Amino acid sequence: MQIFATEQIRAWDEYTIRHEPIASVDLMERAATACYDWLLQNNYKGKAFTIFCGKGNNGGDGLVIARLLAQTNHAVTVNILEFGHKGTVDFQINLARLHNTTATIRFVSSEETVHPIPTGDVVIDALLGSGINRPADGLTAHLIQHINNSNNEVIAIDIPSGLFVDHSSRGNIVIKARYTLSFQCFKPAFLMPENAAGIGDVHLLNIGLLPGFLAIQDSPFQLVDQQMAQQLLQPRKPFSHKGDYGHAAIIAGSYGMMGAAVLCARACLRSGVGKLTCHVPAVGYNIMQTSVPEGMCKTGSPGENDNTGHATQEMDKYDTIGIGPGLGPNPANVSLLYSVFEQNRRPMVIDADGLNAIAREKALLNKIPLGSILTPHPKEFERLFGKTANDYDRIQLALQTATDNNLYIVLKGRYSFIASPDGKGYFNSTGNPGMASGGTGDVLTGMITGLLAQQYSPLHAAILGVFLHGRAGDLAAAYASQPSLIASDLVDFLGQAYQSL
Ligand SMILES: NC(=O)C1=CN([C@@H]2O[C@H](COP(=O)(O)OP(=O)(O)OC[C@H]3O[C@@H](n4cnc5c(N)ncnc54)[C@H](OP(=O)(O)O)[C@@H]3O)[C@@H](O)[C@H]2O)[C@H](O)CC1
Ligand SMILES: [K+]
């Protein structure tokens, strides 16, 4: 699914108006009716509503919702924020239509004319939508704060008022919504952690914008959804053997952190790899052989209770390598990476302490095999590439770094972001907060490594890996719960995640 910026959303509206064809006021009716239907289907039937409208088309949506609610015997009060002009044409048409209903209409022209919001009323926020072009200030900001301070439940239409669609809103005064009812496609603002406090749960409503637009409009950002993941999945061949699915190596683990190696290796196996060799220090030999019997195991100094030595011979024989989970903050990681990068020039996966070693020894960045996948969480990303002012800048920096170094960067988070060297970015749609616990990243590294070994391209391995990882988390959380979810569950549910595609 494409993710569009403000101008593209506007262009899609216009395309639909022209080609369907449909009058813009009727498209507004359709959008607002979708919101009204959502309210009735989600236990808001019979409630009282206080609706705040600006004088743009977002406000117009609010007026239509008000009319539909009033016509079905809901108590509705509409507060219209005076912008000092008459409002858009569709706003005016719908204001005239609203006058014929039982809705109470008030105009808010100063702080003195702001009424308290009755306790228990559901607030609909239709002050500002995608037409916002500056931070809310003055009376607009006052109204937003008034709504936020009321403790009433707020449902934002299209986007919480005050939030910019496609650039940072840091410092803005923004509506804090319980739900955001938005139209047709995700907006970049919904995917940024910095906006988490305002957007609540986002529900996308289909308002019938014409799909033909998607063929003529490219977007640098896409949402990885079921359809995209399905298209990437390669079926297994009927007459195949383990040699057809690649030989992966996992270089991981240290004293006290062998669990990371186990999780990573088990995830790699479950992803469908043909053969796996685990490179761990001697201290972890028994652990690996017992916990991951399907994998082979190599240690740096066999027989010794050695914490540091990872075998580095014959690295070139692997189709790919996943390196980093649980290596620990060991200075020897730097020379380990030099050795691995020198011997094997195929795309590989680098995570955790592998990334931290590169952050320490920046010269390693130029040695990484082209097309490799880096999987940092935000802190690791910062150590590697520096601080950014906001989430949008971080995404731009990830894209720039991916392009400059011919690498893929998987920036882990609620909507993990994959930066591709061609300048395109992919936000993953699966996953849940239950996955915010130790070891889930090690599982992801194992999965992507396994997919790379099976000859998925780096981009496809990264996309499918993050999608399946999140899906496994969603299935595990549905089976038990989010708080109880642990990284091993992701490995256990990976089979069902594949099945769900
Ligand atoms: N397909 C769809 O997505 C549909 C969306 N619809 C709805 O339309 C809005 C977008 O409507 P638009 O009229 O373009 O914009 P807004 O209503 O968001 O804003 C209107 C004007 O407000 C002014 N503005 C901008 N920023 C501020 C601010 N910080 N404070 C005060 N006023 C502000 C600005 O005008 P100026 O002349 O003052 O610059 C805006 O133009 C979309 O969000 C949907 O809700 C349609 O219903 C159809 C389908
Ligand atoms: K809004």
Is the pLDDT assigned to residue 308 strictly greater than 80? no
Mean pLDDT score of the chain: 96
Cα of 117 to ligand 1 centre, how many Å? 24
Percent of the chain scoring above 90 in pLDDT: 95
Decide: residue 432, CB within 10 A, 0-12 exposed, 13-18 middle, 19+ buried. middle
Question: Quick check: CB of 144 below 6 Å from ligand 1?
Answer: no
Q: Quick check: bond before 21 cis, omega within 30?
A: yes
Confidence category of residue 142, pLDDT binned at 50, 70, 90:
very high
Task: State the closest ligand 1 atom to the C-alpha of 128, by its place in the atom list counted from 1.
Answer: 18
> Which single residue is written with the structure tokens 């299935």?
475
Asked whether residue 346 falls in the same domain as residue 436, the answer is yes
Is the pLDDT assigned to residue 327 strictly greater than 70? yes
Q: Which residues pair with 183 in a beta bridge?
A: 205
Confidence category of residue 153, pLDDT binned at 50, 70, 90:
very high
Is residue 68 domain-resident? yes
Q: Which CATH number characterizes residue 127's domain? A: 3.40.50.10260
Is residue 305 domain-resident? no
Asked whether residue 124 falls in the same domain as residue 260, the answer is no
Cα of 65 to ligand 2 centre, how many Å? 13
Is residue 303 domain-resident? no
Which residue type, as a one-letter code, is found at position 144? I
> Which single residue is written with the structure tokens 């308002």?
207
Decide: residue 357, CB within 10 A, 0-12 exposed, 13-18 middle, 19+ buried. buried
Asked whether residue 257 falls in the same domain as residue 328, the answer is yes
Predicted local distance difference test score (pLDDT) of residue 307: 54
* Residue 158, helix vs strand vs coil: coil
Chain CA centroid to CA 343, Å: 35
Mean pLDDT score, 41-65:
98
Number of domains in the chain: 2
Asked whether residue 204 falls in the same domain as residue 240, the answer is no
Task: State the closest ligand 1 atom to the C-alpha of 90, by its place in the atom list counted from 1.
Answer: 47
Is the pLDDT assigned to residue 488 strictly greater than 80? yes
Cα of 14 to ligand 1 centre, how many Å? 14
End-to-end Cα spacing for the chain: 16
Confidence category of residue 301, pLDDT binned at 50, 70, 90:
confident
Question: Quick check: CB of 56 below 6 Å from ligand 1?
Answer: yes
Boundary (domain end) residue, out of 219, 246, 279: 219
Crossing angle for the helix pair 391-405 and 378-385, to the nearest 10 degrees: 60
Residue 122's domain spans which residues?
A: 2-219
105 within 8 A of 136, measured Cβ to Cβ: no
Is residue 445 domain-resident? yes
Asked whether residue 348 falls in the same domain as residue 326, the answer is yes
CA atoms within 13 A on the CB side of 228: 21
Predicted local distance difference test score (pLDDT) of residue 305: 46
Question: Quick check: CB of 172 below 6 Å from ligand 1?
Answer: no
Is residue 47 domain-resident? yes
For the segment 211-257, what is each residue's pLDDT rounded down to a tens digit?
999 999 989 999 999 999 999 999 999 999 999 999 999 999 999 99
Query: 135 labelled as ligand-binding?
Result: yes
Asked whether residue 165 falls in the same domain as residue 258, the answer is no
Q: Does 105 or 283 have the greater pLDDT score?
A: 105
Is residue 359 domain-resident? yes
* Residue 250, helix vs strand vs coil: strand
Sign, CA torsion 462/263/193/387: negative
Mean pLDDT score, 423-436:
97
Question: Quick check: CB of 134 below 6 Å from ligand 1?
Answer: yes
Cα of 192 to ligand 2 centre, how many Å? 17
Sign, CA torsion 62/68/72/78: positive
CA 155/CA 176 separation, integer angstroms? 9
Query: 60 labelled as ligand-binding?
Result: yes
Sign, CA torsion 144/146/149/153: negative
Confidence category of residue 302, pLDDT binned at 50, 70, 90:
low
Is the pLDDT assigned to residue 11 strictly greater than 70? yes
Which of 152, 213, 163, 215 is CA-nearest to residue 188? Answer: 163
Question: Quick check: CB of 125 below 6 Å from ligand 1?
Answer: no
Is the pLDDT assigned to residue 303 strictly greater than 90? no
Task: State the closest ligand 1 atom to the C-alpha of 64, by its place in the atom list counted from 1.
Answer: 47
Asked whether residue 252 falls in the same domain as residue 211, the answer is no
Boundary (domain end) residue, out of 200, 219, 238: 219
Chain CA centroid to CA 210, Å: 25
Predicted local distance difference test score (pLDDT) of residue 40: 98
Is the pLDDT assigned to residue 306 strictly greater than 90? no
CA 252/CA 246 separation, integer angstroms? 19
* Ligand lying closest to the C-alpha of residue 159: 2
Regarding pTM above 0.90, the answer is yes
Q: For the chain, give the longest Cα–Cα distance.
A: 87
Is residue 286 domain-resident? no
Q: For the complex shown, is ipTM > 0.90?
A: yes
Q: Which CATH number characterizes residue 364's domain? A: 3.40.1190.20
Mean pLDDT score, 181-185:
96
Asked whether residue 127 falls in the same domain as residue 157, the answer is yes
446 within 8 A of 429, measured Cβ to Cβ: no
Is residue 307 domain-resident? no
Predicted local distance difference test score (pLDDT) of residue 14: 96
Asked whether residue 378 falls in the same domain as residue 482, the answer is yes
Confidence category of residue 23, pLDDT binned at 50, 70, 90:
very high
Mean pLDDT score, 166-178:
97
Asked whether residue 178 falls in the same domain as residue 88, the answer is yes
Asked whether residue 233 falls in the same domain as residue 213, the answer is no
Predicted local distance difference test score (pLDDT) of residue 313: 87
SS3 content of the chain, % helix, strand, coil (to 5): 45, 15, 40
Q: How many CB atoms lie within 10 A of CB 115?
A: 12
Mean pLDDT score, 263-267:
98
Asked whether residue 258 falls in the same domain as residue 143, the answer is no
Q: Does 93 or 219 have the greater pLDDT score?
A: 93
Boundary (domain end) residue, out of 219, 238, 255: 219
